[in-house]
Amino acid sequence: MIAAARLALLLAAGAALAGPAIAAVSGVMPGVEKPDRARQNWMLKCQGCHRADASGTPATTPAMAGLVAEFLTVPDGRAYLAQVPGVATAALPDDQLAELLNWTLYRFDAGHVPADFKPYTTNEIGQLRHKPLRTEAAQVRARIIADIRSAGVTTP
């Protein structure tokens, strides 16, 4: 029984990680110079709380799968994604953090990335992360989600 559970876990992890490799081969991730590095940074810096499939942890960490790119559809949403505490304070250089954000958008919510999306840049991340959200992050998120709802976008 334990062996079967371990096998199921390994298969699920492998399936979750196969998507980025396929996307990297097809070249559909603008702003992602090294998809393997971005995936590794996701695993080391984000996955612990957001989980391998970006489903989040109820009551503590928001899900991102199938909805993170919707934040790009409203004012302040783009900045918010770079200013949340776990992003703004991540121990990564600006170029790798920009790459990680771009990878995250395409890996977990490619269907909602706007057609006119401009990838995060090193300079943009450098500016935004110097104004991190702290205790107000949840309140800002709630306001942005309300904006997404009122704009008629699928609700996160």
| DSSP secondary structure string for all residues of 24-37 | HHHT--TT-S-HHH
Residue 2 has pLDDT above 80, yes or no: no
115-127 core/surface letters (b: 16 or more CB in 10 A; e: else): eebebbeeebbee
pTM confidence score:
0.80
Over residues 35-79, the pLDDT tens digits come to 999 999 999 999 999 999 999 988 888 999 999 999 999 989 999
Structure tokens at 142: 């709630």
Half-sphere exposure of 99 (CA within 13 A, CB side): 17
Quote the CA–CA distance of 52 and 103 in Å, as a whole number. 14
> According to the model, what pLDDT value does residue 7 have?
41
Higher local confidence (pLDDT), 21 or 56: 56
Residue 106's pLDDT is 97
How many angstroms separate the Cα of 96 from the Cα of each of 19, 74, 81, 93? Answer: 20, 25, 15, 6
In this structure, what are the phi and psi dihedrals at residue 56, rounded to the nearest 5 degrees? 75, -175
The domains located in the chain, with CATH, are: 2-150 (1.10.760.10)
pLDDT value at residue 154:
60
pLDDT tens-digit series, residues 112-146: 999 999 999 999 999 999 999 999 999 999 999 99
If you average pLDDT over residues 92-116, what whole number do you get?
96
Residue 151 pLDDT: 87
C-alpha to C-alpha distance for 132 and 119, rounded to whole angstroms: 20
- Give pLDDT, residue 25: 42
As a whole number of angstroms, the distance between CA 150 and CA 156 comes to: 12
